[in-house]
A and B are shown apart, each in its own frame.
Chain A
Amino acid sequence: MSSSFRSDMGTDPYDSVGDDRWIIASASDRGSSRGEIDSLLHGAGYRVRSTDLRHVAIGLEQLESTMVGDQCVASSAEAIHYNPSDLTAWVDSMLSELAPDPHLLRHPLSTAAANTWADPTQQRPSLHRLENHHQHRNVPAVSLQSMDEEEDAAIRLVHLLVSCADSVQRGDSEMAGSLLDQTRLALARVNTGFGIGKVAGYFVDALCRRLYPPPPSATGGGGSAANLEILYHHFYEACPYIKFAHFTANQAILEAFQGHDRVHVVDFNLMHGLQWPALIQALALRPGGPPLLRLTGIGAPSPDGRDALREVGLRLAELARSVQVRFAFRGVAATRLEHVRPWMFQVAPGEAVAVNTVLQLHRLLGDRASPEGGDAAAAEPIDTVLEWIVGLKPKIVTVVEQEADHNKPSFLDRFTEALFYYSTMFDSLEGGRVGGSHRGGQQQQQTVVAAVAEAYLQREMCNIVCCEGAARVERHEPLARWRDRLGRAGLRAVHLGSNAFKQASMLLTLFSGEGYCVEEVAGCLTLGWHSRPLISASAWRADDADDASPPRDHQTLVLQDHSSSITSGSNNVVDGDDHLHQHSVMRSHMGSSDRINDTGSGSSCSRV
């Protein structure tokens, strides 16, 4: 039964060609490695290891050739059928019952064929099955007998962690401490270099910090704003989430700005301004010419006498000048978002406003009232901020948020949710790296970038696990809740359009490893790893924005490799009406005279 299978049929352009292979499935299916259950068949109710697929296929073929015509039904009626979900065992048992003739079992050629099938991915236990096992308890229990030892240890580790979190929630610090010790022991039996072992280590540390908080002087709040920017930049490089966010948001902003010649973008978290070069260049290229672009960037005050916001503004101005886009920048420094006031943006009448919030809105949430409590929630900062956002009458509000519920009232629920969320995130950091970014083999550099990216995520995780009250800012909530909230505030969803979906999918195949998947959920896009959405991007407009919805999909963004397109700006502040205007916002302990540049149109300094 030699069969020559045609290779790659073009469903996946990055599939490596081989003569003796089946068609490989597309991106969303690819991350399966040795020992892992095929996740798509699992969705159809079958547990089959990816590596057994070929064996099962050959078995099915043989069963079919032995069970011909009417004989098929008769023989199977007498056969004993084992658990149909365990397809490998079912096929094997059917074969031994119905085709006991050894000639018909496992033709030698087919065995050889099975052995020559190369398995390109590395082995590590996936958290998908663990998550299914843990969370979907109402699904009929799956037998654990066929799992590896390593997977057993991983499951045990997860259970220990969750039990520990449970005792922390109950205030039983003795029990929690003892469980932490056990968890550390269990950690020793698992490879902490990757997968569950690595992420579990971080969670053990976080639980430890929560149980035994270090003295306040020790870490000083986890590092300065500058450090955070470095971490963020590495996270930006190591995986496609932020790039996806920027790309998708820019597309929506671009479309919303069609037909307007004075536009104003308010960025809730400027950082290095990585999002904006692509937009500036797209505006430069738009038919009919670029508008006058104003950008207001909100960010943390710089501690060391620098003015980081202004520096970013200068670089962007430089870029804008080089592509002949009239550009003006304003920085608003604030320690907390809720201190910002809309008058600080000085929106001019007739300007089309875009509000851009990437991973920011959740910081404005407070504790959620527990389901049992009947009290109306106190007015949270989010409500105030959403109110003034709507008051700006923006043409578009782009919202990017983590797709997870890390703001549940119960600590245990938050902990468990975060455990699975960040495991998937870490899997993707690693999987994206191994799967092969196509930028060339700079493996060393990628390892460092990935490690620093992990540190970025670790800060988030730590905040979720260790902090409470005003200190807990990583209050992620899922898209469904944001929809509700934004809807109540008077915002209407803008469909991102199938072109945005296609572009995002293309972006992924060009820049990242396989395993990432983009999905569209009622007009919003999510990016995830192996069918677990991790980040969502959506766009909104005020109810009573006066123009009709813009025609979709007319302009597309040029894909940019952002890290190389930011040039270091000169230190000259260029004055004059169409170039850089910059209003620096002062921290309270510096005098107000130093760095204010006034346009002459009235008061422009805001102190927060």
Chain B
Amino acid sequence: MAGSNEVNANESKMAVPLNTWVLISNFKLAYNMLRRPDGTFDRHLAEFLDRKVPANATPVNGVISFDVLIGRTSKLLSRIYRPAPSTSAAVPLLADLYQPPSADPFPVIIFFHGGSFAHSSSNSAIYDSLCRRFVSLCGAVVVSVNYRRSPEYKYPCAYDDGWAALKWASAEPWLQSGKDAKFRVFLAGDSSGGNIAHHVAVRAAESGIEVSGNILLNPMFGGNCRTESEKRLDGKYFVTIRDRDWYWKAYLPEGADRDHPACNPFGPNAAKLDGLPFTKSLIIVAGLDLVQDWQLAYAEGLKKAGHSVKLVYREQATIGFYLLPNTDHFYQVMDEIKNFVMANVQ
């Protein structure tokens, strides 16, 4: 679509505020520089360009964060966000960090950041902001998993890391709450993170770990065929079919195509989810996201398998609308997320 850049840029300009346009276009440009045609990735430059923030145990707007090592052998890190513990000290002590934030039931949100399986980390500034917001929104403890990324680590590494994080969190006594000392966990993620949340939820359902809800923000799914939305929106709102193909190729196993069940969970190769105690889902779809047909098919697939789905379709939203708090889409979706969590945390 090289020749039609002008037309493309104009349409996206009308859809988002200026600072959002700058942010997402900057990402798009930077990411273009990192994906090599031979399928390798300039990880060094990627880490240099990614804006990161350190963990901060000093409360900022009532929220603190700290990093924990979840698996010593896998070196899996996660960043924990939680309401500031009530202590008279200016900076909480280590013991304070692991106190439950409340005796009343509180949600634990295991969050998988986006980035199409290749980009970003738990300490990326954009995801640090989002996780802090979840804490304030729901009084939650958020565990942001720093899963291994492609192309260096392909399927199923990201899912394995997600599962390890869920197992770790379910065994932490301070994450249990309420009179029944229950682990009230939600799996959440945007883009590839949404995809990971789905697959970890399947594993949880198969293994008897109860998940209170899935929150998928513009989840990343795909398939071999080109859907109508992909053709219609290709290159128009920051994303192209070509870059989607590159990321799937980088994540999926050598020789696999996009009907692999990781990419297409309701495709020809997928296992059935009927009868599984799969959790409830809140799925948010942006109307200007080219993969929306896959996301809508995913929601349909869950419903047909007998599982509860709440679908929120934001017609005028683009990808990344949840990164900056400057639109109705942002605030109304945060509201939906909060209501979903509050309704399902008991």
Residues in chain A within 8 A of chain B (CB atoms): 1, 3, 5-6, 9, 11, 22-26, 28-29, 38, 40-41, 43-46, 48, 53-54, 56-57, 60-61, 63-65, 67-70, 72-73, 76-77, 81, 84-85, 87, 136, 138-139, 368-369, 371, 408, 413, 478-481, 483-484, 498, 519-522, 533
Contacts and interface: CB of A to CB of B under 8 A. Distances in A.
Interface string B5-33: 11001100111111111110110111011
B62 A479 contact: yes
Contacts of B19: 25, 29, 38, 40-41, 48, 53
A225 B28 CA distance: 61
A457 B42 CA distance: 54
A72 B32 contact: yes
Given A3-B10, A498-B335, A139 B54 contact: yes
Most buried by B among A24, A84, A533: A84
B327 interface: yes
Contact of B136 (A70, A481, A521): A521
Contacts of B18: 22-25, 53-54, 57
Contacts of B326: 25-26, 28-29, 40
A76 B33 contact: yes
B296 interface: no
A65 B9 CA distance: 10
Given A40-B324, A73-B33, A138-B56, A60 B22 contact: yes
Nearest to B33: A76
A44 B21 contact: no
A6 B32 CA distance: 28
A408 to B, nearest CB: 8
Contacts of B59: 480
Interface in B221-249: none
B33 A139 contact: no
Interface in B11-67: 13-23, 25-26, 28-30, 32-37, 42, 45, 48-49, 51-54, 56, 59-62
Contact of B139 (A87, A413, A522): A522
Contacts of A521: 62, 136
A26 B18 CA distance: 11
A60 B26 contact: yes
Contacts of A371: 88-90
B345 to A, nearest CB: 12
B48 to A, nearest CB: 7
Nearest to B62: A480
A84 B22 CA distance: 13
A496 B129 CA distance: 24
Given A28-B326, A56-B22, A138 B48 contact: no
B83 A26 contact: no
Most buried by A among B21, B22, B51, B323: B22
A368 B23 contact: no
B17 A81 contact: no
A481 B51 contact: no
Contact of A478 (B15, B54, B62): B62
A207 B42 CA distance: 55
A5 B13 contact: yes
A11 B327 contact: yes
B69 to A, nearest CB: 20
B293 to A, nearest CB: 24
Contact of B25 (A64, A77, A498): A64
A69 B48 CA distance: 22
B215 interface: no
Given A25-B327, A136-B56, A522-B136, 17 more contacts: A3-B10, A5-B10, A26-B328, A44-B324, A45-B125, A46-B23, A63-B29, A64-B29, A64-B32, A73-B42, A77-B42, A84-B49, A139-B53, A369-B88, A480-B59, A480-B62, A483-B86
Contacts of A84: 30, 48-49, 51
Nearest to B330: A26
A64 to B, nearest CB: 6
A28 B19 CA distance: 13
B125 A43 contact: yes
20 contacts: A3-B6, A3-B10, A6-B14, A25-B18, A29-B17, A29-B19, A41-B22, A45-B126, A60-B26, A63-B29, A64-B9, A64-B25, A138-B54, A371-B89, A371-B90, A478-B62, A480-B59, A522-B83, A522-B136, A522-B138
Contacts of A87: 22, 26
A29 B19 CA distance: 10
B32 A368 contact: no
B284 to A, nearest CB: 17
Contacts of B61: 533
B51 A81 contact: no
Given A60-B25, A84-B48, A23 B17 contact: yes
Contacts of B10: 3, 5
A494 to B, nearest CB: 13
Most buried by B among A41, A73, A520: A73
Nearest to B334: A520
B17 A65 contact: no
B14 A73 contact: no
Most buried by B among A25, A77, A136, A484: A25
A369 B60 CA distance: 22
B17 A57 contact: no
Interface string B70-114: 000000000000011010111000000000000000000000000
Contacts of B323: 44
B137 interface: yes
Given A11-B328, A54-B18, A69-B2, A481 B86 contact: yes
A266 to B, nearest CB: 27
- What 10 A-B pairs are tightest by C-beta distance, nearest first? A45-B51, A45-B125, A25-B326, A76-B33, A25-B17, A22-B18, A484-B86, A522-B139, A68-B2, A60-B25
Interface in B197-229: none
B325 interface: yes
A61 B324 contact: no
B49 to A, nearest CB: 5
B335 A3 contact: no
A468 B49 CA distance: 50
B346 interface: no
B26 A61 contact: no
Given A87-B26, A498-B339, A73 B83 contact: no
Nearest to B339: A498
B45 A48 contact: no
A195 B49 CA distance: 35
Contacts of B45: 76-77, 81
Contact of A81 (B49, B327, B338): B49
A56 B29 CA distance: 12
Contact of B17 (A1, A22, A67): A22
A301 to B, nearest CB: 36
A67 B42 CA distance: 17
Given A44-B23, A45-B53, A61-B25, A23 B16 contact: yes
A5 B14 CA distance: 6
A73 B22 contact: no
Contacts of A85: 51
A41 B325 CA distance: 10
Interface in B269-328: 316, 323-328
Given A26-B327, A44-B23, A72-B33, A81 B48 contact: yes
Nearest to A23: B17
A92 to B, nearest CB: 13
B160 to A, nearest CB: 29
Given A11-B327, A57-B18, A64 B49 contact: no
